[in-house]
Structure 1
C-alpha cells in the first residue's frame, strides 16, 4: 500500500473524509454509465442518500446544506492570451455563487463534514455563461469506473455502527494505489475556521482555447486571501461556517485569487486522481470578490444547476470521463429536487 498513514488520528480523519466523498463518487460512476450492475441505478443511489440522511424534498442530493452569495469576478487580463472566453478580458463579471458542505443532510452541523465546496455562475457581457463547481480536495481518490464502484462498496455504512468499516476502507486503499495523492492530502488536511479561508479546486482538467485555436489544458483553484486559522476543537454552533461568513461579509468583501495551473506534456490531463508537478507554471487570472449573502437556499443560486459542462467559448471540457459523469449526476439531482419543490410547494 503506497504512502501508509501512521497513527489512529490520521486514519480516523481519512475514514471520515472518505465517507463524506463516497456517495458523491457513487453518483458520478453510475450517471456516467460506468456501472453495469442492474441493481445500481441513479434512482437507487439517490434513495440511498436519502435513506442515510433522511428525505428532504427540494434540496440538492449532495452538498445539500449551503447558502447563496453574490459578487464579481475582476479579471487581471493575464489569461486573455490563452482563451477567448470573455470572462478573462471583461473587467468585471457578475457572479452568483453557493458555499456548501458535503452530504445529503441539509441540517447537518457545518463542521460535521470535512468536504466544503464553492460553485459559481459567471455571466459575461457577450451573453455566455461559465459554471464551475469546486471542492477543497485537490484530487479525487480514484480514476477508473471500477475504482468508483469499489469505493462505494468500501464506504457502505456498517449497520452496527452506522459508519464505514475502517478495515474495509483500508483494504480498499491497499487495492487501489492510485489513491496515494488523495491519501496524502487527507492525512495532512487541517480544516480552516471559515469558508473564506478555504481553497477550492476544479479537480478536473479543462482546456483553454485561444484565438488561433491553440489548446492549453489547465486546472484551476481559488486561493483565499483571508489568512488561515484552524477550526476550533469545540464548535457548538451548527451554523458555524454560515454565521462566520455572514459576519465577515458585514465588514466588507471577501476575495480569492483564481489561479490557473498549466499542464505540460505528460501530465495526467484526463485523470483527476493524479496531481501535477508543483513546479508547473501558473497564471493568476483575476480575483473573485464575494460581496453579500443572497439568502440560505432562498437566493438566486437556489434554482441553478452548477453543471461543470456549462462552459463559454474559449473553455472546453477535457476528455476526463468524470466530467460527463458529474454533468449527468447533477441533472438527476436537479430534476428530482425541482419536481419535489413543484409538487410539495417546498421552499428550501
Structure 2
C-alpha cells in the first residue's frame, strides 16, 4: 500500500473500506455462538456461510486470516501485574509460547501485503497446566458492538461478482447507520502498515478482567508493542510472501521482541464496548516481554492444529461482558470443525518455508 501523505478524500474512504472489509471477515469469527444470537435467529452457521460467500471456500483453512506463519518463543515476565491476578503466568519468570502471525486476507493464497490488517495469536501453557490463549489484531478498536451488527457488516462488505470489490456506497450507508464506528474509521483512514510483522503492534481490542486472590477485579486491555522501529511498507515490488520471508530473515540474526503492555480501566470506562479506546491517561503497566525465537510455515508448524480461542483463560483472568468477546468460542470451534473435516491442504503456495 503506498505511503502517500496526500491521499485524497476518496482514497481515504477506499482505504477505510478495504480495512473494514478485511476486519469484517476477521470479526465475523468474533461473532459466533453455539445457537441463536441476540433478538433474532442468527446462528454461527449463518455467519460462517456469509463469510464464505464473501471470501470463498478454501478447504482446510481457517475462515478468517487463513494465511499465516507459526512461531515459537517465550514470555519473560517481570511480576508487575502479579498482585492483580491469581494467574501464575503473570508472576516473575519465563513461560514458553506457541504463536501465529497472519494477515487479514480471506484467501490463503493472497499476497502477505494485499491487506493492511495483521494479527498475532498466542497459546501459553502455565506450569500448572492451565492455558491462556490470545487473539490480537493491529486495529485498536472494532467498528461495531454486537454480533448482529457484525453480520450486517459482512453483508455490507459483500463483493460485487463483476468487480470483486465492495460497493463503497453500500459500505458508507452501513457506517453512517453505525456512528459508533467513528473511531475505527478514523484509525482506518490514517493507518499506514509497516513492512514487517516484527514492527507491528497487536491489540487485544476486547477487555478482560484480572482477578486477585481476594476476588477483586480490574478490567484491562493489552497490546504487544514491537521493540523494532517501524518502516513504512513500500508501494511496489513486494513479493507475495514478503512478510513471512522478512520474519525468517530477521530471526536468522536473533530473536524478535515485543513489550506486553497492559492498560488498566478507570472506574468510569465502559469495559464492554470494543468500539472506543480508553483515555490516554489511564495507567499502563509493562508486564513482560514476548521473545520470538523461531518461525515455520504454518502447514508444517504446530500452530496449524490449534484454535486460538481468546476465551481459553487461566484462573485469575476472566472475560468482560463484551457481547462480541463472549460470542467467539463456538465460532472458533465451528471453523475448526469445518477445516479439519476438509483435511489439511497441501503445502503448495503456502508462502515462506523454514
CA distance in 2, matches of 1:304, 1:119: 10
1:254 deviates by 0.3
User: Runs of 5+ in structure 1 lacking a partner?
Assistant: none
- SS at 1:302's partner residue? helix
- Say whether the 8 Å CA contact 2:143–2:181 is kept in structure 1: yes
Q: Compared with structure 1, are the counterparts of its residues 137 and 81 closer, same or farther at alpha carbon in structure 2 (3 Å cutoff)?
A: same
Q: Compared with structure 1, are the counterparts of its residues 294 and 160 closer, same or farther at alpha carbon in structure 2 (3 Å cutoff)?
A: closer
User: Runs of 5+ in structure 2 lacking a partner?
Assistant: 1-6, 348-354
1:168 to 167, 170, 191: 170
Q: Residue 275 of structure 2 aligns with which residue?
A: 273
CA distance in 2, matches of 1:347, 1:210: 46
1:181-200 alignment to 2 at 5 Å? 181-200=183-202
CA distance in 2, matches of 1:285, 1:119: 18
Count residues in correspondence.
Answer: 340
1:310 deviates by 0.5
- Say whether the 8 Å CA contact 1:207–1:318 is kept in structure 2: yes
Q: Residue 298 of structure 1 aligns with which residue?
A: 300
- Say whether the 8 Å CA contact 1:66–1:297 is kept in structure 2: no
- Say whether the 8 Å CA contact 1:69–1:290 is kept in structure 2: yes
CA distance in 1, matches of 2:53, 2:28: 15
Q: Residue 57 of structure 1 aligns with which residue?
A: 59
1:113 to 112, 115, 133: 115
Q: Residue 132 of structure 2 aligns with which residue?
A: 130
1:132-171 alignment to 2 at 5 Å? 132-171=134-173
Q: Residue 250 of structure 1 aligns with which residue?
A: 252
CA distance in 2, matches of 1:19, 1:235: 24
1:188-227 alignment to 2 at 5 Å? 188-227=190-229
CA root-mean-square deviation:
1.9
1:229 to 228, 231, 251: 231
Q: Compared with structure 1, are the counterparts of its residues 257 and 27 closer, same or farther at alpha carbon in structure 2 (3 Å cutoff)?
A: closer
- SS at 2:337's partner residue? helix
Q: Residue 83 of structure 1 aligns with which residue?
A: 85
- SS at 1:110's partner residue? coil
- SS at 1:220's partner residue? strand
| TM score, norm. by length of structure 1 | 0.92
1:21 deviates by 1.4
